[in-house]
Amino acid sequence: MSVRPKKSLGQHFLADPDAVRAIVDAVQAPPEAGVVEIGPGEGALTGALVRRYPGMVALEVDRESIAHLEGRFPALDVRQQDVLEADWRTLRVEASEAEAPLYVVGNLPYYITSPILFALLDAREHVARAVVMIQKEVAERLVAEPGSKTYGTLSVYFALFADREWVIDVGREAFRPPPKVESAVVALTFAREGSVKDPGVAFNSLQRVVRAAFGQRRKMMRNSLKPLASETGREVPEWAARLRPEQVSPDDFVRLTAHFFPDSPRD
């Protein structure tokens, strides 16, 4: 039995065993951690995951997929759940007696990729690592370095709060039905508070600076950050004034955040 891919849900089912192996190998969850799969669909990844992590949880919104998964994997804990409404803290507590941070894996629907990525970023206290299949264009933005055309808000946030690893390119022919875009798998290992990669500023304050800068990415920072400077009563620092946002490193965005919001509490 197979599941009918639904365009309304952005379903493109993975059908390449080599890609499945690469993704499952990249999860790297220790025995004490819980594993959560986002949108298992027809279960190509699920079959390989459940053999390695029998206590895993699968989150799926499609009732047809759920019925298929329950028939194919009777012992699987599959839940009808919108990932954007997931309570990651509760999932963490339920998944592991030691309450170890979760390991998340999934072939993400392209139309809600960014919201899911930001949901995982917000849940980084409860998620140790995420291995996600996403549109290649988004993956390139996710791992981009300063100075590149693809460097932007995603690049800054995930450089500061996670280690980013490009796992594998995945062609259109690896899916049923084939999507109109190329895909890639990226692994994100989230920093714990107090770790070397913890930037030490409030995330909402950082967002305000980064969004203001990249909201007018063709302008120099003295212009794009002018409203923020006026609001906070602080000048744009001289070292940043003549730079464009793609020239500013993630660490320097942290410097700017500390400059404009020196008393902002940590999240």
41-86: pLDDT as tens digits: 999 999 999 999 999 999 999 999 999 999 999 999 999 999 999 9
Predicted confidence band at 265 (pLDDT cuts at 50, 70, 90)?
A: low
190-202: pLDDT as tens digits: 976 555 566 878 8
**CB within 8 Å of 229: residues ≥ 6 apart:** 235, 236, 260
Is residue 267 a part of any domain in this protein? no
> Residue 166 and residue 185: Cα distance in Å, rounded?
6
7-24: pLDDT as tens digits: 888 878 999 999 999 999
Same domain, 100 and 159: yes
Q: Pairing state of beta strands 175-176 and 102-107? A: unpaired
The residue whose two tokens read 């053999």 is 51
CATH of residue 181's domain is 3.40.50.150
Same domain, 112 and 154: yes
Among 147, 164, 190, residue at a domain's last position: 190
Is residue 235 a part of any domain in this protein? yes
Instruction: State both tokens at 156.
Output: 């800054």
pTM, two decimal places: 0.91
Same domain, 184 and 213: no
Given this model, what pLDDT does residue 95 score? 84
Is residue 265 a part of any domain in this protein? no
Closest CA to 164 of 198, 191, 182, 137: 191
Question: Which residue range is the domain that position 234 belongs to?
Answer: 203-260
| Overall domain count for the chain | 2
∠ CA 163-198-258, nearest 5°, is 125
88-103: pLDDT as tens digits: 999 999 987 778 899 9
Measure Cα distances from 86 to 92, 171, 194, 245 in Å: 11, 30, 26, 33
Closest CA to 213 of 128, 156, 166: 156
Same domain, 64 and 127: yes
Among 190, 218, 242, residue at a domain's last position: 190
Q: What amino acid is encoded at 142 in this protein? A: L
154-184: pLDDT as tens digits: 999 999 999 999 999 999 999 989 999 999 9
145-159: pLDDT as tens digits: 999 999 999 999 999
